[in-house]
Chain A
Amino acid sequence: MAHNILVWIENVKGHAAAISHEAIGAARSIVDGGKVTAAVFGPNAGELAKEAIALGADDAVTCDDATLVEFRPEPTVALLARLARDAGADVILAGASTRGREVSGALAVELNAGAIADVTALELKDGQIVATRPVYAGKLLATVAPARKPAIITTRSRAFPKPHADAGRSGGVTGVAPALGEEAIASKIVDFVVEGEGEVSLADARIIVSGGRGVGGPDGFKPVAELARALGGALGASRAAVDAGWIPYAHQVGQTGKTVTPDLYIACGISGAIQHQAGMRTSKMIVAINSDPEAPIFKLARYGVVGDLFKIVPALTAEFKKRLGK
């Protein structure tokens, strides 16, 4: 059955979030002869709309009103709801980022829709959408189908490949008016403090190198961070290391931290408690470096090294620097 799909493009300071482009690819996989429309709000919306079309959207709507410069849920949800109603959208897709979760939860109530969060796979069965998503911290999987229209679906970061850009694709771009004026928006942005500038973000990282209790202290993260840097990856941590105050919470991977899906996850001195597994078990390949051969992390790992991370990790950094020409 042809689906009319609205994809919300998350705009971060004039750039589209990678997860939104993955969502365009996810939309194409279920469009079934329908149409994919990108909804782009905020600065540089026109350029981001063209980019979305090159990546697979059929057309786009833009709104670069002053109320939408920095993301806030109220004006975003109000405008998306209006667009979805006007277009008779069957599906609204977004990335399962922090902002995507806020938007989808509110839209579901506003549109009396079915909402499926954080999906890792989408397919059509007899023309009907079926989503797969992890539940109970990834210990189980569930297949979930929308029971009515519209369906609101968010996609897990890196679960869907980013589509290839085709500059030859063309589509209409329509500017629209905002749904709310500034006076109708209760939240006001005071400041934005960028953290970890120049570092690779955990959500988008293809490679993550993480440290746990075994790193022994704040200084123990230095060799772990150096390996991450040599590989062009992001730096992660277990709860034990964060709770000990060795590294900021923003780096925590696990149940009460971030959920990540890199191609390669290198766990250094991490035992692999179930709480940590909840955040990284969907990694495509896991490598464990740990002095304890009985550590549960070895049950998830494809490759393991039983040994002293303070000897192995610097040796790996040196090896990769040599091979990658850094």
Chain B
Amino acid sequence: MPDIRVQVRLFASYAEAAGRDRMDVVLRAGATAADCLAAVRAAPWAQRVPPGPALAINRRYARGDAPLHDGDEVALIPPVAGG
């Protein structure tokens, strides 16, 4: 099965550490949100990203074992402070 491409969205302290607010990640077919997170954390700037940030797929919170599909948007959500 072909690889899938997802767009990763970064925010707040993560975006600052990365120097960017989005990046494309290519994963093998059948990859999960956790696989995407692991790929992002492999980057040198990603020491600031804790092992378990909240994750969102297509603008809804998702668990690490949620499957990804080509074209999905995956967001790494740092601890929130709204309200």
Q: Do A and B come from one complex?
A: no
**A residues adjacent to B (C-beta < 8 A):** none
**B residues adjacent to A (C-beta < 8 A):** none
